[in-house]
Each structure stands twice: as structure tokens, then as C-alpha cells.
Structure 1
Amino acid sequence: MPSMRDIRTRIKSVRETMQITNAMNLIASAKLKKARKQLNDALPYFEKIQSTLNDIIAHSPDIEHKYFDQRKDAGVKRTGYVVITADKGLCGSYNHNVIKLAEEHMKDKQEKYLLVIGHMGRDYFRQKGYKIDIEFLYTAQNPNVIRAREIAEALISLYENTLLDEIYVVYTKMHSAVKQEPEVLKLLPLEKSEFDVPTNPGERYKEYMVYEPSPKKVMDILVPNYVKGLIFGGLVEAFCSEQTSRMTAMDAATNSAKDLIKQLTLQYNQARQAAITQELSEIVGGAEALK
């Protein structure tokens, strides 16, 4: 049996660890609230862009545009994957699930390109021998509209210059506080079926609508902003999922630490009781020997 000194040292160590995990839980909770507020503040702007795109597609269903180009004659398509992971661990299976889904989706692609966000994903793909084409560093821990715009501009440039024919985003979507699932979102090219266009537009779209200078020019401006909104939403959803996973992991670690402290305290009391009993036995034995 360990000595009382060893048990006290271990109890102290576990208690200090418990304080750290509890603090990380509180920090993750504060970050989660801040990120959700940031997303909710920007959501009306991006919803309006999507609504306008719905109107244009409903009013001009035969419109042709470079962002809807499926490139069926491209032969082997060059596919880019933006994989969003965390910069840190200690968040359960969050990083593992995203990376696993990305690998499953990439395995059948002949010509694929990796664009990573987050140190955990970058380190994993490097260790596995994947070629990383672009690293968007210092983004996972601070998702914001400015950074989303920079990433969107880089991706759109790759698509417009035909360096990439398809672009996917692999991230974790936060459905609720207890459910976060990795998902694959097709970023480009856009598909008209993805938009909420009514099959029978009705009176709203029978009116004469004018887009200046033209629907195509309007799409040139709207689509990059729409892509920026998708990326920003993916970044914030991933960040919120990471913090939720970290809260769950740290809460479980804190509870485990509490249980371990109880076990160690019981073990310490048993050792102390055994020591006291031994001392009493020695005292009684010494007294009997003096008689």
C-alpha cells in the first residue's frame, strides 16, 4: 500500500488538474457564447444575400454563370478540400471525426488538393504523407468575417483560374449542445437545386424585375459574398462545435478527478487508520513488555 505521503501528493496533483479542467470548461463556455453571438449578428446579412440569389434564379432560371459551371468536359476534375480542425486538442473526438470524414471523401478522388485550417489537421496530414497545398493558419481560434473574406477570395481565385474544378469544405456542424456532426459542404460550383426556388413562383416573380446592369453582373458581386458567408458560417460552426466538445471533455475530466479524489481520500483514511492501529499495538505491546 502507498504511504500516506504519496497519497497526499497524488491528491494534491489531482486537485490541481481538476482546477485546470474546470477553468478550461469555463473558458470554452465563454468562447462559445461569443462565437454564437458573432454568427447571429452576421446571419441576417448573409440570409439577405441568399434570398436575393433565390430571386434571381427564380426570375432567370436559364441564366448561365461561371459559378454554376459544372465543367463536365474537364476530364479528371481537380478537387480542393478545405478541412477545418482545431489548433488544440483536449476536445474529445472532435478533430478525429473531421479528419476521418475528409479522408473517406478524398479517397476516391484522383486529383485532390488539401487546404487546411487548424494545426491539428495540418500535423495529422503531414504525418500521413499528404501534400498540403495551402495553410490558412491562425484562423480556427479566431473566426471572423475579415478572415472568411480572405479565404473566400483565395478559393474563388483558384476556381476562376481553373486551378480547381470543385471545392468542398469539411467541418463540424453544431446541431445542438449534445450533437455535433462532421459534414461535407460543396462550396463551388454552385448548383441551382441548392437554392430555395419555388417550382411555381406565382405573382411575385411575374412582376417585371430589372437587375442593373444585368443579372449576370449582379451575380458576380453576390456569389463571392455568398461564398464568404458559407465559409464564415462553417468556421463559426466548427469553432462552436470545438468549444462544446471541449466543455464536454473537460466536464467529464473534472468529474473523473472528483471521483479519483474520493477514492484517494478513502485510501488515505484507511492508511492513516492502519498507521494509528499499528502505533496503538506497538504502545500496548511495549507496555505489556514492561510489566
Structure 2
Amino acid sequence: MASIKEIRTHIKSVEQTLKITNAMYLISSSSLRKARKQLNDVEPYFNKIGTTLSDILHHSPEIDHPFFDKRPEVPAEERKVGYIVVTGDKGLAGAYNHNVLKLAEERIAQTPCHSLFVVGQMGRTYFQERGIPIDVEFLYTAQAPTVPRARDIGELMTDLFLERQLDEVYVIFTRMVTSFQMEPTIHKLLPLDPDTFPKYEKDRDAYDRSVVYIPSVKAVMDRLVPGYVRGDLYGALVESYCSEQNARMTAMKASSDNARQMLQELDLSYNRARQAAITQEITEVVGGAQAAL
């Protein structure tokens, strides 16, 4: 049995760990609510861009635009594919980083001509340790997703796509399905697929008359599509951040529960050790008194 001093030291250590894990749980909970609010605040704007694109596509089915160019003339083995991998900046979030990085590594291994774009310190460290070349590192933190950062990434991706340096662009991130379920996801960013834009049911804003776009359909699409891509990326960044915070909350709650259970066991061990020490002292006093008689 451990000594009373050792048990007391162990108890203090576990108590300090419990304070840290509980504080991290509260911080992650606050960050999750804040990120969700940010996404909800801008979501109507990006949804409107999506509905407008859908409206244009269904009123102008003959449209031919570079952002929708699937480049069928390029063979599969020669297609240049860009992967934007979104991870966290730190661990202590369960399997959050591991799962998305594993999925990214599998897809990269299946793509002969690929380019890697990384958001998050954990992703940078992971690929560097394994000798996987990173084409672009977005050095700002993944802890504070913002629309301007999504715009910067989106502009780079659209430029590379239009310059034919990339034939396809995917973003690999973690989607929070529910509070208890998170899954790594691969979302195709470019080229856009007209079939993914649903035809919305008629409502008070719908119309059947012919539509004229000024100065042209292409000019309107040139302006709208980058905004749509920016919204897609911002949604992925926020979704990843929310998933990370939720995973950290779950991990810290489990750690806190384990620490509390360990404290109960240590308290029991401490009481037993103290009782054994008292019994030993009484035995020694009684033994000494009997010897004196």
C-alpha cells in the first residue's frame, strides 16, 4: 500500500488535472456556441447566393461557364486534384484530428497528381513528419474561422482552377452530424455541378417569365460563383471548428469524470492508509506499555 504522503500528493495532482479539464470543457462549450452563432448570422446570405445560382441555371440551361467545366478531355490519371485539409491547431480532442487526417492521406494516396493545401497546425505537423509535400500552408490559426479567411482561400482556389493548374478541388473537413456524431467528409468545391443545385418550388418570389441578366449571364456568374465558393469554404471551416470544440468537450468531460472517480478511489485509499497508520501507532503504544509492565 502506498504511503499517506504519496496518496496525498497523488490527490493534489488529480485535483489540478480536474481543474484544467473542467476549464477546457467550459471554454470549448463557449467557443462552440460562438462559432454556431457566426455561421447562423451569415448563412442566409450564402443561401441566397445558392438559390440565385440555382435560379440562373434553371432559367438558362444552355449556360456554358468555366466554373462548370468538368474537363472531360483530361484523363483520370492526369487530372490535377487539389485537397484542402482542415484540422485543428492542437490535440486533446479525441480522434478528431486523426480521423480527418487518415481520410486525407487515403485520398492523397489514390491521386497521382495532387496538390495539398493545409489549414491547422496538426495537419501541417502530420504531413511534414511523414514526408508528404504541402503546396500551400495557410498559416493563420484554424481556431477563428472568418469570412475574410474563407475568401482568401476561395480566391486562390478559383484562380488555380481557372488557370487550369487544378482540374478539381476538394475540401476535407469534419462535419458535425449531431452532438454525438462527427464524421470526416470530402466535399467537392470545383468544378460546380449543375445537378447539385435543386430547382426550388414555386413561392411568392418565383416567376415563370423570361429573365435578362445585365450585362450578361457570364458576368453575373463571374460575380456569384466566387461568393458561393467562399460560403462553401466558410461553412466547412466553421463546421470543422464546431466539430473540434464538440470533440474536445466530449474528451474533457470524460477526463473530468475519470478524475472524479479516481479522487473517490484515492480518498478511500487515503482513509485506509491513515486508519492503518493509526492502528499501527496504537499497537506500538500498547506493545510498549505491556513491555514496561
Answer yes or no: same fold by TM over 0.5: yes
**Other-structure match for 1:185:** 187
Q: Which residue of 2 aligns with 1:21?
A: 21
* 1:127-166 superposed Cα distances (whole Å, 9 cap, x missing partner): 1110000011223111000111111111111111111111
Q: Taking structure 2 as the reference length, what is the TM-score of the superposition?
A: 0.96
Partner residue, 1:172: 174
1:53 alignment counterpart: 53
Cα-to-partner distance string for 1:95-114 (whole Å, 9 max, x where unaligned): 01101111222222110111
Give 1:34 deviation, angstroms. 0.5
Q: Work out the number of aligned pairs and report it.
A: 290
Q: Select between 179-188 and 204-213 the one with higher mean Cα deviation.
A: 204-213
Distance 1:157-1:61 versus aligned 2 partners, 3 A rule: same
* Residue identity (%): 53
Counterpart CA distance in 2 for 1:106 and 1:189 is 19
The amino acid of 2:120's aligned partner reads G
Q: Partner of 2:144 in structure 1?
A: 142
1:197 counterpart SS class: coil
Query: Could you tell me how far apart the structure 2 residues matched to 1:277 and 1:200 are?
Result: 85
Question: What pairs up with 1:233-244 in 2 under 5 angstroms?
Answer: 233-244=235-246
SS across alignment from 2:135 = strand
**Which sections of structure 2, spanning at least 5 residues, go unmatched?**
none
Per-residue CA deviation, residues 170-218 of structure 1 (Å, 9 max, x unaligned), is 00111121111110000000011111126999x9553121111111110
Name which of structure 1's ranges 107-116 and 21-30 shifts more when overlaid on structure 2.
107-116
Q: Structure 2 matches for 1:141-290, cutoff 5 A?
A: 141-197=143-199, 204=206, 206-290=208-292
Q: Is the aligned partner of 1:129 residue 2:131?
A: yes
Q: Contact 1:53 / 1:222 at 8 angstroms: preserved in 2? A: yes
Q: 1:215 to 1:223 in 2, by over 3 A?
A: same
Quote how far apart the aligned CAs of 1:77 are.
0.5
The 1-side partners of 2:213 and 2:177 are apart by 37
Residue 252 (structure 1) shift: 0.3
CA distance in 2, matches of 1:192, 1:234: 20
1: CA distance, partners of 2:202 / 2:127: 47
Q: Helix, strand or coil: the match of 1:12?
A: helix
Q: d(CA) in 2 for partners of 1:40 and 1:198?
A: 21
Cα-Cα RMSD: 1.6
Partner of 2:110: 108
- TM-score with structure 1 length normalisation? 0.97
Check the 8 A contact 1:139/1:147 in 2, yes or no. Answer: no
